[in-house]
């Protein structure tokens, strides 16, 4: 009986109107990108052109309203960005406008105007600093020697390694992975303290690189006024929400919505959970998003969204730096999932 019910539910889901929410982070590169977050401007342009040919691009709010009504058009797609990098305005927005495709940018409110980098970017410039690193990494349990600290090779844009790779080709790659693993478990003040010590050890400046910075307040306003781009909330400090107690989860979500709404003079009905996988979004996280006053919230799950997907865990699929043909193959596979 259980198998029969599951088969019937799957058949209904396959026939029901459904859509795909795409998750981008950055329109930048090519360069060293150990998290695999960059999509080059050329590839992003090709992606949007492909969406116009092979799908039905929609604004996220419209997508959500029609999804819950069961009236999504054929091959509906919504474009979203996470984090709030400056290149979302400087590089992505003009391409979106040229293709007449809407997008929602989920902004980490506490990073707006901050002259520092997201911790995973800071870890990248520490681990791959063009300097001789000391024989021991402070505050990190990692086997490390003077030989490991030699200057990294000048690979730059040719270094296509990411944390999804099985092997670490050099000690510097192993160091990057270890730094990220440590930072992932820390709250914002502890992470800032640890990064300060590591930057001093590696001889790295505290100020954000122009290529990796977040939006300024003026740029955030320009993004919201650019037409076709909405702003959503991505918490205040980009924590792993499921690791926080319920009250702190609600504070992170609610304060980000309030801050962004006041800064822009606009409602902020949507949120996206940082990291956003099932391991990082608990039942309490979804409850906190609802209590914080959001209409819907995005999770990260490689699946289409259909009428009965939870409005507090709307699935999204991450887009990588693919060429047009590979991108279309992924779109077709997601719709066929």
- Tracing tokens 């107690």 back to the chain, one arrives at 245
CA distance 213 to 25: 13
CA distance 292 to 250: 6
Tokens coding 261? 């709404």
β-partners of residue 315 are none
Question: What are the pLDDT digits (tens) for 317-334?
Answer: 999 999 999 999 999 999
Residues 103 and 224 in one domain: yes
State the CB neighbour count (10 A cutoff) for residue 183: 19
3-state class of 183 per DSSP? helix
Question: What are the pLDDT digits (tens) for 8-51?
Answer: 455 455 557 999 999 999 999 899 999 999 999 999 999 999 99
Average pLDDT of the residues in 236-264: 98
Domain contains 181: yes
Question: What are the pLDDT digits (tens) for 118-148?
Answer: 999 999 999 999 999 999 999 999 999 999 9
Lowest mean pLDDT, pick from 15-24, 80-89, 180-189, 193-202: 15-24
Residues 110 and 221 in one domain: yes
Specify the pTM.
Answer: 0.94
Task: With a cut of 70, say whether residue 248 has pLDDT above it.
Answer: yes
| CATH code, 277 | 3.20.20.370
| DSSP secondary structure of 253-307 | HHHHHHHHHHHHTS---EEE-SS-STTT--HHHHHHHHHTT-SEEE---SS-EET
Q: Percent of the chain having pLDDT more than 70? A: 94
Mean pLDDT, all residues of the chain: 94
Residues 178 and 268 in one domain: no
Extended beta strands in the chain, E state: 18-24, 26-27, 38-39, 56-58, 76-83, 103-107, 229-233, 270-272, 296-298, 305-306, 317-318
Q: Which of the four pLDDT bands, split at 50, 70 and 90, describes residue 337?
A: confident
Domain contains 207: no
Residues 139 and 193 in one domain: yes
Residue 50's φ and ψ, nearest 5 degrees, are -65, -40
Residues 198 and 321 in one domain: no
Q: Which domain holds residue 125?
A: 119-202
């Amino acid at each position: 009986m259980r198998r029969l019910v599951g088969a019937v539910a799957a058949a209904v889901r396959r026939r029901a109107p459904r859509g795909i929410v795409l998750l981008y982070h950055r329109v930048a590169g090519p360069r060293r990108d150990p998290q695999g977050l960059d999509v080059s401007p050329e590839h992003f342009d090709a992606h949007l052109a492909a969406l116009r040919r092979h799908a039905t691009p929609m604004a996220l709010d419209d997508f959500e309203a029609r999804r819950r009504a069961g009236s999504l058009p054929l091959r509906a797609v919504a474009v979203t960005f996470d984090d709030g990098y400056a290149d979302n305005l400087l590089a992505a927005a003009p391409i979106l406008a040229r293709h007449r495709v809407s997008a929602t940018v989920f902004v980490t409110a506490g990073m707006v105007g901050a002259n520092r980098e997201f911790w995973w970017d800071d870890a990248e410039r520490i681990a791959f600093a063009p300097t001789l690193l000391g024989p021991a990494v402070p505050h990190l349990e990692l086997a490390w020697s003077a030989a490991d600290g030699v200057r990294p090779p000048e690979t730059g844009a040719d270094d296509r390694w990411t944390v999804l790779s099985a092997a670490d080709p050099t000690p510097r790659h192993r160091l990057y992975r270890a730094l990220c693993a440590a930072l992932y478990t820390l709250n914002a003040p502890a992470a800032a303290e640890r990064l300060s010590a590591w930057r001093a050890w590696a001889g790295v400046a505290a100020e954000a690189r122009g290529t990796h910075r977040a939006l300024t307040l003026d740029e955030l306003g320009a993004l919201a006024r650019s037409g076709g781009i909405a702003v959503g909330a991505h918490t205040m400090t980009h924590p792993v929400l499921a690791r926080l107690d319920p009250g702190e989860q609600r504070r992170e979500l609610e304060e980000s919505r309030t801050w962004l709404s006041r800064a822009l003079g606009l409602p902020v009905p949507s949120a996206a959970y940082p990291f956003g996988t099932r391991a990082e979004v608990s039942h309490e996280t979804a409850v906190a998003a609802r209590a914080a006053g959001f209409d819907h919230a995005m999770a990260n799950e490689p699946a289409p969204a259909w009428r009965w997907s939870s409005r507090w865990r709307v699935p999204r699929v991450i887009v990588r730096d693919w060429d047009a043909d590979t991108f279309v193959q992924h779109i077709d596979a997601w719709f066929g999932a």
